[in-house]
Amino acid sequence: MIRRKRRKSLTAYLLVAVLAICLLITGCGNSPEGDAAPLTAGRNAVEPIPAEELALRYEKAGDAENTDISVPEPVSLEEPLTGPETEPAAIPEPEAAAEAEPEQEPVSGPDTGTVSESETEPETALTPTEETVPAPEPEEAPQPAAVQGGGRLIVIDPGHSANIPSGSEPLGPGATEMKAKDAVGTRGTATGVMEYELVLNVSLLLQNELTARGYTVLMTRTSNSDSVSCMERAQTANNAGASVFIRIHADGVDSPSPHGASVLCISSANPYTPSTYAACRRLSEALISSYCAATGCYNRGVVETDAMSGNNWSRVPTALIELGFMTNPEEDVLMSSADYQAKMVKGIADGIDIYMGTAGQ
């Protein structure tokens, strides 16, 4: 019997225990998700989820800025990202470099801009410096020496002489008018230098210059003791087949005032060598322009005349340049200086170069 009671009590206990376990289990049944419980708790805490509720609140309250702010925020974050992309754009860097260059240019500018003019200097200094860079090119430009000399023959005729041939000769081929074979020429009123001395010195310097530029040079005379008539001078050029016949003289009048250079050229009505007029005119203009440019001498222009027997007898392009007035004291002294003579020679040689270039020979 005791055993039955014990069994009953045990079963009772078991039943109670089972019931207790069941109660515990059912108690947990309210939250079968287990670990999710804290999540629901969190949701309940975040229930004021901004997404819908805040949007509704903003719409109701009309806080457009807030809604806009939330939207553009991500955009604004992207914009700064694109922003730096444009910032690194090296474009501003080259600009800075370009600004630095002009700063360096004016540095070299002062070298040329010795003038105290301030504002215009930098502007002019820019171009000169830019030009000074290619400057060496124009200096090398004369290298078209192939166009310059090329071995072509230039006959230089230093006017007059200390030994003047006597007699006369026709003014030109077939001319009945006669003219003295030559004259003594003029004389420096300040220096006392004779025209034939001055022009021979300049002609010899010109010979060297033209030779250096690639020309072949022939002189009608190389000494003040040579006796040569104007017709003979021209025949020297004709017989040699010269490309150009350059005659060197200096002016002289009774007044000390006249000054400046001029070139004597045959006229278009020249009865002796009319076919050479166009070439003579081009040569004359090239000479007077280059000469005055190189020397700064007053330009008296090209004078057309058919009274020069030496020009009339020339069958090749010819021009007679009057370097200046030896009867003008200042010009007389100037023409005797070595520096000015170098300029005169350069001017004449440049004129010949120009003529040769335009002549396309």
Residues of this chain that bind Zn ion (CB under 5 A): 159, 185, 249
Between 121 and 157, name the residue whose CB sits nearer to Zn ion: 157
Packed helices 277-295 and 338-359: angle between N→C axes, nearest 10 degrees: 140
Between 125 and 230, name the residue whose CB sits nearer to Zn ion: 230
Any idea what DSSP says for residue 318?
E
Task: Classify burial at 163, counting beta carbons within 10 Å of its beta carbon; exposed 0-12, middle 13-18, buried 19 or more.
Answer: middle
Minimum CB distance to Zn ion, residue 199 (Å): 7
Between 199 and 352, name the residue whose CB sits nearer to Zn ion: 199
| Distance set, CA 283 to CA 6, 198, 237, 247, 308 (Å) | 154, 22, 16, 12, 16
Between 213 and 300, name the residue whose CB sits nearer to Zn ion: 300
Backbone φ and ψ for 301, nearest 5 degrees, come out as 85, -175
Between 149 and 159, name the residue whose CB sits nearer to Zn ion: 159
Q: Which tokens hold the place of 329?
A: 């004291």
Minimum CB distance to Zn ion, residue 213 (Å): 25
Distance CA(160)–CA(200), nearest Å, equals: 9
Between 185 and 351, name the residue whose CB sits nearer to Zn ion: 185
Between 98 and 183, name the residue whose CB sits nearer to Zn ion: 183
Output helix, strand, coil percentages for the chain, rounded to the nearest 5.
55, 10, 30
Minimum CB distance to Zn ion, residue 314 (Å): 16
Minimum CB distance to Zn ion, residue 171 (Å): 16
Between 129 and 161, name the residue whose CB sits nearer to Zn ion: 161
Minimum CB distance to Zn ion, residue 323 (Å): 10
DSSP assignment of 169-208: EESSTT---EEES-----B-TTT--BHHHHHHHHHHHHHH
Minimum CB distance to Zn ion, residue 208 (Å): 22
Minimum CB distance to Zn ion, residue 326 (Å): 9
Distance CA(356)–CA(31), nearest Å, equals: 115
Residues whose CB falls within 8 Å of the CB of residue 240, separated by 6 or more in sequence, listed in order: 153, 155, 218
Distance CA(27)–CA(175), nearest Å, equals: 152
Between 246 and 356, name the residue whose CB sits nearer to Zn ion: 246
Minimum CB distance to Zn ion, residue 288 (Å): 16
Distance CA(18)–CA(24), nearest Å, equals: 10
Distance CA(326)–CA(49), nearest Å, equals: 112
The CB density around residue 149, as the number of other CB atoms within 10 Å, is 20
- Whose structure tokens read 């309210």? 30
Minimum CB distance to Zn ion, residue 159 (Å): 4
Q: Which tokens hold the place of 262?
A: 């001029």
Q: Residue with CB nearest Zn ion?
A: 249
